[in-house]
Amino acid sequence: MSDKINKTDEEWREQLTEEQYHVTRKHGTERAFSGRLDKHYDAGTYLCICCATPLFSSETKFDSGSGWPSFFALVEEANIGKTVDESFFMRRTEVHCDRCDAHLGHVFPDGPQPTGLRYCINSAALDFVSDE
């Protein structure tokens, strides 16, 4: 991914709601089943709320029962970065937008085929653009 975005903390605070800022810039997590996109199944593309990078297609969204939007594949591998997250006494793989470093959520190896992955993403980290 090119065109890396670097903004000051103040610039992010001006652009984002308090919840979006907490999730994407401070590695927060919204409460399960509270996000506006958890049960959202319209056709379209899910974008990074911070920089509008395409992240997930509605064609790969599924109901994992976790309370967060879940996807089994990315729009493009280069758009997502991964890091090890050892907070809360567990080891997980955190996913973030590669363009702006926004924290999105985590990826787990318990998703459906064909990938077997479950990208568990905060609604507050996503925007949605309809295909219609």
- For the annotated catalytic residues, the residue numbers are 120
Half-sphere exposure of 62 (CA within 13 A, CB side): 16
CA torsion sign, 113 to 117 to 123 to 128? negative
The residue among 129, 100, 105 whose CA lies nearest residue 117 is 105
Q: What is the DSSP letter of 12?
A: H
